[in-house]
Amino acid sequence: MADVSGTDLDRALGFAIPERNARGRIARLGPVLDEILSAHAYPPAIEALLAEALMLGALIGSTLKDDAGQLTLQAQTENGVVRLLVVDYRGGELRGYVDFDAERLAAGPAEPTLFALFGQGYLAITFDLASSGERYQGIVPLDGASLAEVAERYFVQSEQIPSLVRVGVRHEDGHVIAGGLFLQHLPHGEEGRERLHVRHDHPEWENVAALGATMGADELADPALPLETLIWRLFNEEREVRVLAESRIVRGCRCTAGHIQSVLAKFPIEEQREMADADGVIAVDCRFCSTVFPVRIGSAAA
């Protein structure tokens, strides 16, 4: 395994530019991606797609102030190569998987477009806030060159907040590294002022977005560049840039034998027998971590 000492990986960092009424989040993933992707033998196109989705999950999810809250990204289609993509983030824990048609993928180009993978699909972004019990969901068509572009459109259209999203993915010494930048104009309505969507120009935001757009994918995914350095490169001419709290990110599949037993125990014993094999064992396959948990009917019913 490559030496990753001295590299800036598996964390997200928030920042704010008060005079521009802007906030941002920058993140980079390395070993966490390797852990998640290694659970499945994904072809390169699917691996790159999931790496981008996981990066988006870390960027957006780490903005949650509710540590027990959860962000879920779900991309789905009925007739595409990719049938389902799911990523979720909760309290610094990240996980995800892709269900796809291997034969149709192999028959297509080596580097398929987003449309070639999903066809007429959609992306659902869901925020579950544990502290209040509230749930918010928005859906946007998978129209664009990348998932990052689709996510950016979601915030502009559904949340009506001018936003910029950039993601870069690279392979280095057999490992996958991803970096991302998420910029937003602060919603003035939160401070009792005019809501952004009723305004026709945003000169402060236009300057921030123009600077953010200069950040290259290679820089975002370069583990040798500290996240603080990237923020300084973009906004060093601003009078004040506040670096906010960071979030450390880990692989967080929440499946355990005990949890699975408790779920199965809720089924009537007759249904448990129907799910079991000839030896009375129910094999439960976690699609996130690709681990099979064998549970005997007796232990599930206990």
pLDDT confidence of residue 256: 64
Looking at the fold, whether 40 and 162 belong to one and the same domain comes out as: yes
pLDDT of 196 strictly over 60: no
pLDDT confidence of residue 200: 44
The CATH number for 283's domain is 3.90.1280
Looking at the fold, whether 115 and 238 belong to one and the same domain comes out as: yes
Looking at the fold, whether 221 and 292 belong to one and the same domain comes out as: no
What is the arithmetic mean of pLDDT over 239-255?
87
List, for residues 154-166, the tens digit of each pLDDT value: 998 888 889 999 9
pLDDT of 2 strictly over 80: no
Looking at the fold, whether 241 and 289 belong to one and the same domain comes out as: no
pLDDT confidence of residue 56: 97
pLDDT confidence of residue 188: 57
For residue 181, which of 163, 167, 161 has the smallest C-alpha distance?
167
pLDDT confidence of residue 255: 66
Looking at the fold, whether 185 and 281 belong to one and the same domain comes out as: no
Looking at the fold, whether 83 and 146 belong to one and the same domain comes out as: yes
Comparing 217-221, 257-261, 272-276, which segment has the lowest mean pLDDT?
257-261
User: Inter-axis angle of helices 227-235 and 203-212, to 10 degrees?
Assistant: 130
Task: Give whole-number Cα distances, 188 to 22, 111, 139, 152, 161, in Å.
Answer: 10, 41, 24, 19, 10
Tally of domains within the chain? 2
**What separation, in Å, do the N-terminal and C-terminal C-alpha atoms of the chain show?**
43
The CATH number for 240's domain is 3.55.30.10
6 in a structural domain: no
Is-contact 252 92, C-beta < 8 A? yes
5 in a structural domain: no
Looking at the fold, whether 95 and 207 belong to one and the same domain comes out as: yes
Task: Report the share of the chain in percent with pLDDT over 70.
Answer: 83
List, for residues 205-220, the tens digit of each pLDDT value: 999 999 999 999 999 9
The better pLDDT of the pair 147, 171 is held by 147
pLDDT confidence of residue 197: 42
Determine the Cα–Cα distance for residues 216 and 220; give it in Å rounded to an integer: 6
3-class DSSP assignment, residue 50: helix
3 in a structural domain: no
What is the arithmetic mean of pLDDT over 274-294?
69
pLDDT of 193 strictly over 60: no
CA angle 280, 284, 286 (to 5 degrees): 170
| Enclosing domain of residue 263 | 257-301
Residue 47 has a CB neighbour count (10 Å cut-off) of 18
Looking at the fold, whether 24 and 103 belong to one and the same domain comes out as: yes
For residue 23, which of 222, 196, 149, 224 has the smallest C-alpha distance?
196
Is-contact 145 153, C-beta < 8 A? no
2 in a structural domain: no
